[in-house]
Amino acid sequence: MEETCKNVYITTPIYYVNDVAHIGHAYTTIIADMLARYSRLTGHNTYFLTGTDEHGQKIAQSAEARGRTPKEYADEVSGKFRALWDNFDISYDKFIRTTDEQHKLGAQKAFEKMYNKGDIYKGEYEGFYCVSCETFFTEKQLIDEQFCPDCGRPTSIVKEESFFFKLSAYEDKLLKWYEENEDCILPRSKKNEIVNFVKSGLRDLSISRTSFEWGVKLPESINEPKHVMYVWLDALINYISALGYGSNEEKFEFWPASIHLVGKDILRFHAIYWPAFLMSLELPLPKHIAAHGWWTRDGEKMSKSKGNVVDPKQVADAYGLDAFRYFMLREVPFGQDGDFSQKALIDRINSDLGNDLGNLLNRISGMSGKYFDFKVSSIDVEKFHKKELDEVNKILENVEDFIFNMQINRFLEDLWKVLTIANKAIGDYEPWSKMKEGKTEEAMALVALITNIMAKVSILLQPVMPEKIEKIATSLGIHINTELYNKLIVNKELLNDVTITKVDQLFPRVEEPLIEQAPETKKDKAESEKKSDKQEEPDNLITIDKFFETTIKVGTIVEAEEVPKSKKLLKLQVDLGEDKNRQILAGIKEFYSPIDLIGTQACVVANLKPAKLMGMLSEGMLLAAKDENGLCLVRPEKTKISGTKIS
């Protein structure tokens, strides 16, 4: 994606209908969707293509095994992919199927053109064929002279009449293209592998089959009715047939592709065959071909036999689609393999999304509501917070480079640095103290600063988490579109006056895995539970007198603030009746934000020996209950007069 180019064309691979959608498909599609949404937001004319690959011997065999025609079988599986993407609100512009008439026309036109150019000739193919991978191998490539190097299944010797594409003639041209276009293949490490492969020599490519019928027929002008197209040629052409190549050319203004997103297992087809086909067709080459890694689960390879395959819909249903999207995009540097675990996902939800993002929004609505009747004006932000604004703008200026280089995890890291600036500013400037001192303008400037930061970050996060960001936008009284993007991000301006609306907690804390564990991990958990049962203490009985040695009172929290540099502590001022300002340091920061506590009641141990925590005096303790689901304060059921004794 180049900043300068107005038309942007983004593709996922077309998914083979011999598989159910798993986390890998979801990952590719979510990255593509994020890029497409980003491209639209930033004002580009965008076209986003996904779809299904439906031809080949494997599909014919799978259909036969089920007593269906190949088309019936393809309809069913293709429909499932499409339904999943619709359920995920994937913003594709076209869902292509290689069984579409428009696609067949495009594939035939391309074949004809390459044939007429002299790049296709008829010969005889003899090779070791793996039905499962639909690929021929040379004897050298086989494992133990018999087995497929990709999937390990036995291969069979196949000798058949075949058309060939003169791939060998494109070796030098491909190497020149790789050399002149530094970022044509991402990440760079993968590009080096491709370059070395091409340098080791390319053989002509068999591109037709006579041993089965489930495929696109060769063009009539060639008059070879026994032949169908090799499934990879057929599939790759989808990227241009979708734009109307060979039919109506309706959307051909979008060619060349800005980015083809692919899994690393199919990079070779995209980075060698596809550019060679395009050179033969005399069409411009794609700007980027980006290969991502694979996903494991809890550190192990996923497989049907282990029963540990991650079902993306199950994860999104349990944890929320936007949290799942954020997790996938944030967790793994592009191109590397990623590991899915519920623990890692829960950590991201509770810390990045709940604490850093969600709580900041709560604080905006809390402070703007308490001090300013929810009205926020940016008028004095520059005056009091130029330093913070400069820091924010400096990060945001460069953050888009990460998107153009497919470093989405670093893009998100930097947005979180900006959120940290906002959270830190609250601690540094203590708007509640400013209000006490009557410095209303300064308090307003601070609230407006964090509101503006939230707005800027939300604009850039919208392509990542469209649904949750819509809620934030509603709360901030803004509408995220290209105009606002230009104003706040490109021109670095501030918001006009806004009215804040309170929203429900955006990312409620997740305390334990919401999906039943894969078989192995489940066993581990059961064992650790057994252990903790054994450790339970026997009952210790005490007399009532002993109990009354502890004075417990109802306290009303009048002030609450974070203790700087402490992960756990909040500093509270508690009204205990006779003692209106009892200072208590409570280790509850992970579970409560100060704004949520002010004005609420809690049960306080009032006769505890004072203690110093982080250099500050703490004179009491709040009663709280903590279990594996987290911590909550113990409070009177109804509001009681401050200082009421509990017995």
Q: Which residues bind Zn ion (CB under 5 A)?
A: 130, 132-133, 148, 150-151
Helices (H), 100-187: 101-116, 171-180
- Cis ω for the linkage preceding 187 (within 30 of 0): yes
What contacts 571, CB < 8 A, 6 or more positions away? 560, 561, 562, 563, 583, 584, 585, 616
Q: Pick the closer one to Zn ion by CB: 143 or 611.
A: 143
Q: Pick the closer one to Zn ion by CB: 188 or 301.
A: 301
Task: Provide DSSP, 394-458.
Answer: HHHHHHHHHHHTT-HHHHHHHHHHHHHHHHHHHHHH-HHHHHHTT-HHHHHHHHHHHHHHHHHHH
Tokens at 607, concatenated = 């006769």
Shortest Å distance, C-beta 265 to Zn ion: 12
- How far CA 592 is from CA of 448, 610, 633, 640, in Å, comes to 23, 23, 9, 22
Shortest Å distance, C-beta 336 to Zn ion: 25
Shortest Å distance, C-beta 133 to Zn ion: 3
- How far CA 232 is from CA of 111, 252, 277, 503, in Å, comes to 13, 22, 11, 50
Q: Pick the closer one to Zn ion by CB: 133 or 646.
A: 133
Shortest Å distance, C-beta 264 to Zn ion: 17
Tokens at 70, concatenated = 């190949």
Q: Pick the closer one to Zn ion by CB: 131 or 576.
A: 131
- Dihedral in degrees, nearest 10, Cα atoms 580, 581, 586, 590: 90
Distance CA 229, CA 105 (A): 13
Shortest Å distance, C-beta 131 to Zn ion: 8
Q: Is 320 left (phi over 0), alpha (psi -120 to 50) or beta?
A: left
Shortest Å distance, C-beta 147 to Zn ion: 8
The residues pairing with 124 across neighbouring beta strands, listed in sequence order, are 161
Distance CA 524, CA 507 (A): 28
Q: Pick the closer one to Zn ion by CB: 133 or 309.
A: 133
**Can you state the percent helix, strand and coil of the chain, rounding each to 5?**
45, 20, 35
Shortest Å distance, C-beta 141 to Zn ion: 11
Count of Cβ atoms closer than 10 Å to residue 65 Cβ: 9
Closest C-alpha to 622, from 630, 634, 631: 634
Shortest Å distance, C-beta 167 to Zn ion: 21
Shortest Å distance, C-beta 148 to Zn ion: 3
Q: Pick the closer one to Zn ion by CB: 273 or 592.
A: 273
Shortest Å distance, C-beta 144 to Zn ion: 14
Shortest Å distance, C-beta 145 to Zn ion: 15
Shortest Å distance, C-beta 135 to Zn ion: 7
Eight-class DSSP state of 507: S
Q: Pick the closer one to Zn ion by CB: 148 or 332.
A: 148
Q: Pick the closer one to Zn ion by CB: 265 or 524.
A: 265
Shortest Å distance, C-beta 152 to Zn ion: 7
- Dihedral in degrees, nearest 10, Cα atoms 16, 22, 26, 29: -10
Edge-to-edge strands, sheet with 120-130: 135-137, 120-130, 156-165, 205-206
Q: Pick the closer one to Zn ion by CB: 133 or 503.
A: 133
Distance CA 515, CA 317 (A): 10
Cα angle value 494/498/499 (rounded, 5°): 155
- Dihedral in degrees, nearest 10, Cα atoms 422, 424, 425, 427: 130
Q: Pick the closer one to Zn ion by CB: 21 or 148.
A: 148
Q: Pick the closer one to Zn ion by CB: 157 or 542.
A: 157
Q: Pick the closer one to Zn ion by CB: 133 or 169.
A: 133
Residue 408's Cβ-side half-sphere holds a number of Cα atoms within 13 Å equal to: 29
Q: Pick the closer one to Zn ion by CB: 41 or 130.
A: 130
Shortest Å distance, C-beta 127 to Zn ion: 13
518-526: Cβ within 8 A, 24+ apart: 518/297, 518/298, 518/306, 518/307, 518/308, 519/306, 519/307, 519/308, 520/298, 520/300, 520/306, 520/308, 521/298
Cα angle value 93/94/95 (rounded, 5°): 135
Identity of the amino acid at 273: Y
Pair 375, 497: CB distance under 8 Å: yes
Q: Based on the number of CB atoms within 10 Å of its own CB, is 266 exposed (0-12), middle (13-18) or buried (19 or more)?
A: middle
Shortest Å distance, C-beta 155 to Zn ion: 7
Q: Pick the closer one to Zn ion by CB: 235 or 346.
A: 235
Chain centroid to CA 337: 14
Q: Pick the closer one to Zn ion by CB: 130 or 261.
A: 130
- By three-state DSSP, how is residue 45 classified? strand
Pair 81, 43: CB distance under 8 Å: no
Q: Pick the closer one to Zn ion by CB: 130 or 198.
A: 130
Shortest Å distance, C-beta 156 to Zn ion: 11
Helix-then-strand count for the chain, H and E: 23, 27
